[in-house]
Chain A
Amino acid sequence: MTSRPGFVLEVDRSTPPILMWHGNSYRLERFPKGARILYPPEPQEPIKDPKSAIAQALESPTGDSKPLSALLHKGMRLVIAFDDVSLPLPQMQAPDVRQMVIEAVLEKAAEHGVDDVYLIAALALHRRMTEGELRHALGARVYDAFHPRKRLLQHDAEDPSNLVDLGTTEHGEVVEINKLAAEADLLVYVNINLVSMDGGHKSVATGLASYRSIRHHHNVKTMVHSKSFMDMHNSELHTSNWRMGRHIASQGVKIFQIETTLNTDTFPKPFEFLSKREWEWNLKDRTAFIASSTSLQASPDWISRDIMHKIRSPYKLTGINAGEVEAVHAKTLDKVFSQQLVNVEGQSDILTMGLPFVGPYNVNSIMNPILVYCLALGYFFNMYIGKPLVRPGGVVIISHPNKAEFDPAFHPSYIDFYEQVLTETTDPKEIEKRFEESFANDPWYIHLYRKGNAYHGVHPFYMWYWGAHALDHLGGVIILGGDPKATRRLGFQPASTMMDAIEMAKSVVGPDPSITHLHSPPLVMAKVI
């Protein structure tokens, strides 16, 4: 049975209220007649026998690459790098696709007598994963085999003894990556391509790089010229990463890229109504919605957050390709787009979106206002190819409580960014110029990044840059149900009801605005024509 494609619904009198995420909970909102709701495609059929598919991908590589077995030999050093906890979202039900792929690679390595093997979590400037997260991603067998022998490592972008300067690209970009990975006889990268931004040369050129290197593409100028960064052919972020990736290859780093794609089966049984179209809800779905939304809203934040972060997605593997980076990634993108892309005719004046409880950088943690900003204007806004869903000068309405709550262990520099930077300015260029260097080089943040579980000191800046293109494009941003003080701190306007928010937006876009609602998650990407 083939899955139904995504589509655009035009709201009429018979349209029921639409589900809208609101942080750790969700609610139903009525949209004005004529508004468009962009529904994601249903999850594609998964690969029936993932183990065979993985084995086949490893031995039938894509592009100019030998099969994995041909690259393995006794006495060599093999490094397997893998995507960190920021993927997939929410975390998938065991076994995680990384575990399946890494076990297959390790079996092949064992068959060929390769015993000098390291695993590296490709953190870039993200926080270190906890033991529980590593066990979940790799499986207990791999974790227990590697961790006690200190062969399960997490990339440290601030460890000068384990970084190697590979020179610069033709554009003068410094390429500095993990030394162990760069000097291995073979670097296997195991990726999860949840969205089209992931993978390709970005895996190594960003995931295993240092701040000195990453800053060349994680900056305001690059982000403003990435339209969108979900569309690599129009993304300066990707162009820079591709230059770096090619430079890495030219320096003799041998990479065997393994990219996987998942379907959009995001929510397990008790929450499956979240993936359904509202008019197809049955009695069980309605009951589940009422019971869960009522209890989540009535619960203290920490309880509702805990409940939601325990969700494990029943994602299933839809594709795996291995071999040469660019050839592999081209196939990956085709697969991602075939799952997520929906054609949309024209832009609208207002784009609405409900933000869920989790984004890439608050797994098992709090979604603070900076992450709210990033998830909305960095990620959801950029889920397009061609043109944004909202016209230039339009308004985005975000539904989220947007409370000024922070996780001091994971996001210490975010707190200072919120208190000391955003009180001065919200202009990405000014923020970059005045504050980035000082946060990036702050020894305490570096210490917490290296020894604790903190995001790097510069990370909140990148979150802010992530939204730079949207800020450049939009005429206004309104946070529906957002804490007024925290919302104003971001430079946005708070609204208490959807009708209020639309009325406020009219003062920017004019009367009778066209409205599009991004009904996500599950993930959906718009091809605006």
Chain B
Amino acid sequence: MRSLVIEQNLRRMASAKLLAGTSATASLKWGPLSIKDVDPPGLPNSQWVRVRPLLSGICGSDLATVFASTTRYFEPLVSFPFTPGHEIVGVSLDTGTRVVVESALTCKARDLPLCRFCRDGKDELCESVAAGNIKEGIQIGYCKSTGGGWSQELVAHRSQLWPVDDSLSDEDAVLVEPLACALHSVQSTVLHGTENVAVVGAGTVGLLTLASLAYLFPKLSISVVAKYSSQRAAASRLGATQIVAEDELERSARRLSHSFRKGGWLSGGYDVVFDCVGSSKSLSSSISSVRPGGQVVAVGMPSQVDIDLTPLWHREVSLKGSYAYGVEVLPKERFTHLDLTECLSATEDRDGQVSIRTFDLALCAMKTLRLGWMVSHRYPLENYVDALEKAARAGSHDAIKVVFDLRKSKSVWKGKDDL
């Protein structure tokens, strides 16, 4: 089958990193990613099924991997060679149903007893990303054993598959995984009493964070930092209260909170700032714009940064990360506007707390949000250079989510083309 594959080749990784700043095409040509004919991954055991991707998204973390701009932190946590792609809507070759893949490879997927985090529904903190009967890999798309979405086939544990309602388009469905990440970051951070929040960045992560905030907390005032006009339009469509330019965040924070400012010191600011860019500049700006005692959440995968933490220290700002998804606990009285009756995993305890898997919540939310319009560009696998170039320059090229469209590719198994 045809598959994009990343190999552990230090020379190629160094070339990709070196060339990424000048030419994306050259960086891809000389980088670690290539298209190959490979054997489909084998099924680890009977709990696993084959999935044929229909659409598979290109995420910021994928780009960081392809262009080798990420740190080497993840290297021990992935297994080479691997096929990228963890935002996947596909067809289960076992049942023939359309599914989205909860790609995190946690204890359950690895057929291990649940670790302390997975037991508590905090799957995103799972201790077992490098254990069990499959190779290392934090998610499908980083694991040699499973394959990934940028191919004609992958394998997934049954517990990772979520059936897709017929009312959702493939485009809606491919955004369920990143929406789940956004819902998780938002739900776990926005506390009772939060009034003003800011979302820094209006790429896919930023926009989905905005959509999640507007969905879960419709009364919030949400400011969005958007660089490009298409991003501003998208943010407006998704319910941003205010859209500001890159260098306007601190002033907008002061205005909104009616606070005092002296140089870089601000007496007030946003209750929470979601940094969906992860650069030195965006994180510095986020820390300066949040109120004393407020929270800055790194939602997108940050790079290595150089920031002045004095305001963080002096204003007792919390900086936290937000990764993936698990189980969300929603106090029912705060979310009376949500209809969670269709969510498969929702359970309510005696205190009125509704527990629900984030992925399930994302699927329910998608029925309301219908975010498929954010899929702006689709490419066949063979055009991966164009696709990745477009995704790398999404904002300036009026693109939001770029995906690989595998709906016309043939099945690697005889007689299964119609699936």
Interface residues of A, Cβ cutoff 8 Å to B? 415-416, 419-420, 423, 438, 441-444, 447
Contacts and interface: CB of A to CB of B under 8 A. Distances in A.
Contact of B260 (A416, A419, A420, A444): A444
A447 B258 CA distance: 11
Nearest to A424: B242
Interface stretch (B115-123, B128-136, B248-256, B381-389): B248-256
B261 interface: yes
B261 A444 contact: yes
Contact of B243 (A423, A441, A444): A423
Contacts of B251: 415-416, 419-420
Given A416-B251, A442-B258, 6 more contacts: A415-B251, A419-B251, A420-B251, A438-B255, A438-B258, A443-B259
Dominant secondary structure at the A interface: helix
7 contacts: A415-B251, A416-B255, A419-B248, A441-B258, A443-B259, A444-B254, A444-B260
Contacts of B260: 443-444, 447
Contacts of A415: 251
Interface string B230-250: 000000000000111100100
Contacts of A441: 258
A437 to B, nearest CB: 12
A447 B242 CA distance: 25
Nearest to B223: A420
Nearest to A443: B258
A420 B255 contact: yes
Contact of B252 (A419, A442, A443): A419
Interface in B70-116: none
Contacts of B254: 416, 444
A420 B244 CA distance: 7
Contacts of A416: 251-252, 254-255
A419 B244 contact: yes
Contacts of A438: 255, 258
A381 B248 CA distance: 32
Residue among B242, B244, B252, B258 facing the most chain A CB atoms (10 A cut-off): B258
Contacts of B255: 416, 420, 438, 442
A419 B258 contact: no
Interface in B207-237: none
Contact of A420 (B248, B258, B259, B261): B248
A323 B154 CA distance: 94
Nearest to B245: A419
Nearest to A447: B260
B248 A444 contact: no
A419 B260 CA distance: 18
Nearest to B252: A420
A447 B261 CA distance: 10
B357 to A, nearest CB: 39
A360 to B, nearest CB: 25
Contacts of A447: 260
B252 A444 contact: no
Contacts of A442: 255, 258
Contacts of B252: 416, 419-420
Contacts of B258: 438, 441-444
B261 to A, nearest CB: 6
B270 to A, nearest CB: 14
Interface in B249-299: 251-252, 254-255, 258-261
Residue among B242, B243, B251 facing the most chain A CB atoms (10 A cut-off): B251
A430 to B, nearest CB: 15
Nearest to A417: B255
Contacts of A443: 258-260
A81 B56 CA distance: 73
Nearest to A442: B258
Nearest to A419: B248
Interface in B330-346: none
A154 B245 CA distance: 37
Given A415-B251, A419-B252, A420-B252, A444 B245 contact: no
Residue among B244, B255, B258 facing the most chain A CB atoms (10 A cut-off): B255
Nearest to B268: A444
A396 to B, nearest CB: 27
Given A415-B251, A416-B251, A444 B259 contact: yes
Contacts of A419: 244-245, 248, 251-252
B368 to A, nearest CB: 27
Contacts of B245: 419
Among all A-B residue pairs, the 4 with the closest Cβ atoms: A419-B248, A444-B260, A416-B255, A442-B258
Contacts of A444: 254, 258-261
Nearest to B262: A444
A419 B253 CA distance: 12
A310 to B, nearest CB: 29
A442 B255 CA distance: 8
Nearest to B243: A423
A375 B382 CA distance: 59
A444 B260 CA distance: 5
Contacts of B242: 420
A224 B312 CA distance: 48
A411 to B, nearest CB: 13
A443 to B, nearest CB: 6
Contacts of A420: 242, 244, 248, 251-252, 255
Interface string B297-309: 0000000000000
